[in-house]
Structure 1
């Protein structure tokens, strides 16, 4: 057993994870912390913004990221019960507990808020931002569905397809590069199953930097208001 930042636990050990753990389908659980932007003053060298992408391309790997403390417990217990390699992505900053989550199951996301105009699919700390965005949109008479997609791999294809069919578009939110992470997984499903407009909220081809979590969320356009702007843009395109 050991512990590490996601940046180093994956960045320095990716070859061993691929060749020793995943290739042999070993029952190993990789739980790493300080993923994403909000790791405080440590800066770019310690901020893992590419970790999901690196793990997503490895066969046999399950990837999960919780939105709060109780879901962290659910994910750890599910990872222990799962027979095979698992990557659990944890952050550093404190987050509020989110109510309304359903019974946890690997690969099965759940709707935290119903909506008929647009779907916001989020993971990790971005779930809270998505819920706040839905509140702002409600004041504008726009109905947003909020989905907590805690499992990036295997991704919940059924939920994504339902969102595409039942709302006018999808906004995907993640504290990760916009390539190779949750947005990529959602986009691949939409490419195969049918066209629908999609916007991405995430880090856009930039390294991280030092700062407090609120400062970094604002600097990298990951706030609830940024999600609202993306929803407005998407809805304008679909009307």
Structure 2
């Protein structure tokens, strides 16, 4: 190879490298810009959602998913209408709603805030797990009160403290105190009015069991499933 040919080859390779470098930098900048824009869009989307409550306490891992965007939950983080709240193993989550209602979720619980407003009342979906609740102003004053949908029953809440979930191999609902809880299936409904009374729901097409008093052991077991 002649020296001139060697210099010519080097010049070509240098030219290619010089031309390729801006291309890489440009692609990297485009990718970074899109990632930043996506994060900004997600933040804007969450901020523009209608606030339903605020996280008070978290033990373990808990997340919220809204429009396929997941975010970790921590004290002070807002909860929005449409959120699906999920807890991990040995986790707990306590949220305070806009009307001062309180919800405490146990481990491996999935809970959807479908609607929550003074005008429309509250509609929530307990997909799985356990929930301990205390009504706020909506449950006490709004004609529609609070409705909690579950896989086996629809539960109407009005000015009361209550517990809902799977325990001892059965789906159970308890009324701790207050205005009462109505548990409805496709077959019948049962109203829990006495303090520390509960019912068991075996299937959607079967009536709930008649109200029965909850003893100290059953109450302790239920409370332990949502305690911090």
The TM-score normalised by the length of structure 1 is: 0.28
**Which one has more relative contact order, counting CA pairs under 8 Å at least 6 apart?**
1
| Structure with greater proportional strand content | 2
The TM-score normalised by the length of structure 2 is: 0.29
| Structure with greater proportional helix content | 1
Q: Which structure has the greater CA radius of gyration?
A: 2
